Structures are given as C-alpha cells and as structure tokens.
Chains A and B, each alone.
Chain A
C-alpha cells in the first residue's frame, strides 16, 4: 500500500460543511429561544429593538457582506494563481472583521453605559420581556462576535500559508474552507440583523 499522502479534496470540504452544520445548529438553539420569546413578548421585543442602533447594525451588515465578497474573491484569485491579490483580499476580509468588532465595541459600550446589560438593575426594574430581549441580544451577538474573532484569526493564519506558497491553485482547500467558515459568520449575521435591529 502506498504511503503517499493522497489529498481527499472532496472529503476535506465535506468535513468542513459538516462542521458548519454544527455551527448552524448552535445558533439554531439561540434562534429557537428568540422565536419562543418573541411569541411571548412581541411588544417588549419591538420596544427593545427600537433601543438598538439600526444604523450601526446596518453598517455592520454592509461590512460583513463586503468581507464575504473579499473572501469569495480570494478563492477566485487563488484559483487563477493570483497569489498577491489573494493575500490582499484576505487582508481586506480581516480588516472588515476588525471594523465589525470596533463598531460592535461602541455599540455594546453605549448600551452598557445606559445600564443595559444582563442582570443590570435597569433591566430588573423594567418589564420582563425587555430583560429577555437584551439577554438574548448579548448572548447571540456575543457568541457571533466570538466567531468573528476566531474566523479573523483563522484567515490571518491562512494568509501566511498563501503567502508562503503552501496554498496554490493546485491545492487551495485550506483557503476554501476558511472562506466557508467566514461566509457562515456572515450568514448568521444576515438573520441577526433583521431579528434584533428591525423588529420595530
């Protein structure tokens, strides 16, 4: 039996997709809770949504969509052997990730400054539905933000591999899988944005 490492391209991609499925289900649990509590507290959820800054949320949506575009373009670039461009595009994605986190930071700190955070006195005094809304908001966007950080770090590592020539048109599954992970992060946000910022 030969010992030559045979790279199973389709297998690697299948494995990545299976992992993405688990991520979908992970956020699915949060969306399940959202659905149940939206049904129970429609007015409070609307009131909570109004307190969120939809302009910041919208800006972050545009940023993430753009970052996803860059990631997808990076895959095209590597397939066409345009290594420099691929690295540049990945860096663009990472920059977008950083921008996303900065906006998120300002958004969260503004809310926390107003005394709105899980377990705060302000929320304890308010209607119960509002407390549920903001707890879900912090948990969902928090876990999503964590995924942005992980995805950004992952792409950063992949960028160094592309630069080193380890990822090229003949073998780019690493970049493709990294991009897939990044698109998932975008995908989740596509649902978070209308559900939290726009249920007015």
Chain B
C-alpha cells in the first residue's frame, strides 16, 4: 500500500483538488488539514502577539523604576501576555494545528469523526479570542489580575475581567469539543491493522490530552461562570465577609489549570517521541511505557492541583498530601526522558533542524521539570513561591518544552503539507540563537527568583538590576532567533525547493502518502502491517 500511495502522487493535493479556492473554501472547510492550518495560523499569530507583550515586559524590567510604561499598563501587560499565551496559543495550539493536521493521517483515517464539529470548534475558538481581545479595549480597560483571575481582586477590580472571563469560557468550550472529537476519532476511525499498540506516540499523547480536556475543562467553565456571577450578581460565594471562601476559588481554578499544564505539554512529548526515533534511525525504546506514561501523566496530573496553593492558607494536611502526590508525576515524566535518551544511545543521529529542536526540548524540559520538584516540595516552595523562580520554571516547561517542540513540529511536518522545504542552515542558526537566548533569559530568572525577586512586581531593588538587564538581553537574542526562524521557514514553505517523499525516513503513516496529501489523505484505504517505528518492516533503508 505504501508504494501505491506514493506512486499516485500528482500535483493534486488538498490545496487544490476540490477545485475550491478562496477564503470561504478555508474558513468553512471541514477538511482536517485545512482546519489544522487555520488553527496553526490563528494560534501562532496569537503566539507572536504574546511574544511581543513579553518583550515589552522585559524592556520595562530592564532597569529599576519606570522604563517605558506605568504600573497599571504593566499589570495589564503581564495579564494579557499570560491569557494570550495560555488560552489562545498553548492550550489550543498543538491539538488544533498539529493534532488536526497529522493525527487522522497517523491512524489511517480520512478525517476526524465529526468534521463539522471540528470546524465549529475553530469558529468558537475565534469568537472566544475576539471576545478576549475586545476586553482589552472596552469597559474598564484590559484586565489586570494576572491570567489566574484570583479572587477577591478579580471580583472587585474595575477592569474588564467579566468580558475576558467570558472569552476564556468560550475558548474552553472549543477545547472540550476538540477533545471529544479526538477521543471518538481515535476509538472509531483507526484503519485496519492500526491496533492500539501500533498508534504513533504523538497520537497516544493526543488521546491522553483529549481526556484531560474532557474531564478538567468543565471545572474551569463553572469557575469562570462563578467569577462572572460574583462580579455581576454579587453571589459572594468566594467573599469571606458573606460566608464564601476565596481559597475555594483557587481549588476550582487549579483543578482545571494544573491538568491543563499537561494539555500543554503532552502533545509536545508526543512530537518528541515521533521525532527522536526518526532522526536516530532506531525504533523508539520502550514504546509501551511511553504510551502508558502519557496516560499516567494525565491521571496523576489530576491529583496534584493543591501544589499551587501551599501558601494560600490551605490546611497543613492538604499541603503534605499534595506535595507527596506531586512527586508521583515525576515518575512518568522521567520514564519518557529516559526512554528518549535510551533511543538515542547507539543510534545513527542526524542533527537536522527538527531534531535540534527536539533534543533541546529534552534538555530544557528536564531543567524545567527538576526546578518543578523544588516547587513541588512544600518546604522549598514557601521560599520561592511567587518569585521569578516560578516564572523561570514554567517558561522552561512551557516555552523550552512545548514551544521548542512546537518549532520542532513546524520543521518536521509543515513541509509535508506544503510540499516545499526550508533552508537547513538558517534553521540551525535560528535554533542556536533561540537556545542561547532562551537560557540567558530564563535561567537568569530562576537565579533572580532564588535571590528573592518577586514575580508580577513593577519595580525592584537595585541589587537585582544587573541580572534583570542580562535577562532582557537574553530576550532579544531569543527574539532575533525567532525572527530568523520564521523568515526562513515561511520563505521555504511558500517559495522553497520541492519537498518530496520521505526524506527523513519516518515510518508513521503520514510519510506513506503523497506530498502534499490529497483531500481524503489515502488513495487506497491503508492496511497497517507494522508498528509506527518499525523502520525495517516498512522498508525504509
């Protein structure tokens, strides 16, 4: 079937084979690849907005005192940076873009189970995004609560929290629908021979992610409804003077938002599990354990939300229990890291752009994960809670982890869907710059946090000035690398040399079909006879 599919590759692909072009053939398309690209460009666009806001925050923090903006603007900026990055980019990003682009092909399906619902998800994502953006320019101005919307401040501030919360609620709905669509698809539409133990690990990770989306997101939805009710109806459910309990808000918020961290990181881990064996020319080590650890992370991640609340006034018993449970998450995460590294061992490693981004994921995620243990242990957390150590930690996991994996996925899969390639050398240069800038920026932040610099503060003591300047310089190196990467990647995808066949020798199904794929992916219905990393079995040299 493999050769048949490749041989029938013609000029016809999902870009033109339906005969429909123009904007409406995209924004009303139910083709998972077109929806994937819609998601990619919208989420990545918001990523760039978030980057810009982040750079502005760093410029403000470059020196003590006022640098370029007032304190209220600064509060709005870090709030919007957080909301945009978390809710508009990183949560919907991976699932929406690469999940949609690749997953149905990886399981040998023509599309997802509910294609129209899939399109609807993108639409409500966009509506939610517009509402969030509208909250910046209407009412009392952009929200200034931080992305966590903590009560009592979020219930009282005059800024436009209600609208922002509504926007996030709508986006949550989109996330739920994508999740249930993917779970149904993976259960129902696997091709003949595509058994559970032949699923590519990216698909496995999407499956685990989708479950978190289904089971955790509704809690966020109800929490946000309650905050809005607190503001508009005066329910007082989180107001101590009326018998409410603000700590309950934190419980509800983190019941969603901690598992949401795994919505953000699991697909990234899946990409790495797909990339590492391909560029090591070796079957993945411990396939079943990696698949299982995705589910284990999803499960264990739902038990540990309390570790965000050690200093909230929660009971000591709860601190103890949640601290203990937090360390359980380290086990499946470490299983993954060890298995990736073992896959590399004695492999024939080729250091091309996707692999470079992939390898830096492993390192940066490990640093982020280990600093997470410092925060997971209650005793040490009390000292670094709400400092720049936390900011450094979650950027290592979210940006160094998911962000770099996203770049890896962009270099690995986008050429497949465009049929054109980027230039390798500038890609490597951009990677080197970003990797350097990233560490200069965020490692410095962790040191600053250890020294006691609090997060979300507009001003700071003069002794933090040098390191803050270093961090800001790092942010510029990072941004320079990002610009080079984008220019090179998109110039390649639009005007670059043709990208054909299976240049890296991947054994998953997406590499067995024409480039770019036709609308229904497979010319003949695939019958799967080998595992996703069985390079020998699929006849790849």
User: Cβ of A118 < 8 Å from any Cβ of B?
Assistant: yes
- How many residue pairs link A and B with beta carbons under 8 A? The number is 115
A29 and B222 form a contact (CB under 8 A) = yes
User: Cβ of A164 < 8 Å from any Cβ of B?
Assistant: no
B223 and A132 form a contact (CB under 8 A) = no
Across-interface contacts of B184 in A (CB, < 8 A): 11, 14-15, 18
Q: State the Cβ distance, B213 to closest chain A Cβ, in Å.
A: 9
Select from chain B the residue with minimum beta-carbon distance to A132: B243
User: Cβ of A28 < 8 Å from any Cβ of B?
Assistant: yes
Interface size on A, residues (CB 8 A): 41
Q: State the Cβ distance, A186 to closest chain B Cβ, in Å.
A: 19
Interface string of A94-108 (1 = CB under 8 A from B): 000000000000000
Binds B, one of A19-27, A49-57, A64-72: A19-27
Using A26-B218, A33-B237 as known contacts, say yes or no to A124 and B242 having CB atoms under 8 A apart.
yes
Across-interface contacts of B308 in A (CB, < 8 A): none
User: Cβ of A129 < 8 Å from any Cβ of B?
Assistant: yes
User: Cβ of B234 < 8 Å from any Cβ of A?
Assistant: yes
Across-interface contacts of B187 in A (CB, < 8 A): 11, 14
Q: State the Cβ distance, A35 to closest chain B Cβ, in Å.
A: 11
A132 in complex: contacting residue of B222, B242, B523, CB < 8 Å:
B242
Across-interface contacts of A22 in B (CB, < 8 A): 176, 180, 214-215, 217-218
User: Cβ of A193 < 8 Å from any Cβ of B?
Assistant: no
Q: State the Cβ distance, B64 to closest chain A Cβ, in Å.
A: 42
Chain B, interface size category, equals 35 or more
Across-interface contacts of A143 in B (CB, < 8 A): 222, 225
Using A18-B214, A33-B248, A139-B229 as known contacts, say yes or no to A129 and B243 having CB atoms under 8 A apart.
yes
Across-interface contacts of A26 in B (CB, < 8 A): 218-219, 221-222
A14 in complex: contacting residue of B117, B188, B219, CB < 8 Å:
B188
Across-interface contacts of A135 in B (CB, < 8 A): 229, 235-237, 244
Where the two chains meet, the residues of A that have a C-beta atom closer than 8 Å to any C-beta of B are 1, 3, 8, 10-11, 14-15, 18-19, 21-30, 32-33, 36-37, 40-41, 44, 118-119, 123-124, 127-132, 135-136, 138-139, 143
What are 12 residue pairs bridging A and B, where the CB atoms are less than 8 Å apart in the complex? A1-B525, A11-B184, A14-B187, A15-B181, A18-B180, A22-B214, A29-B223, A36-B248, A123-B242, A128-B243, A132-B236, A143-B222
Counting from the closest, the 6 A-B pairs by CB-CB distance are A128-B243, A119-B234, A29-B222, A25-B218, A11-B188, A18-B180
Known: A25-B216, A124-B242. 16 other contacts (CB 8 A): A1-B525, A11-B188, A14-B184, A15-B114, A18-B180, A18-B214, A25-B215, A26-B218, A28-B219, A29-B252, A33-B237, A33-B252, A127-B243, A135-B236, A138-B235, A139-B226
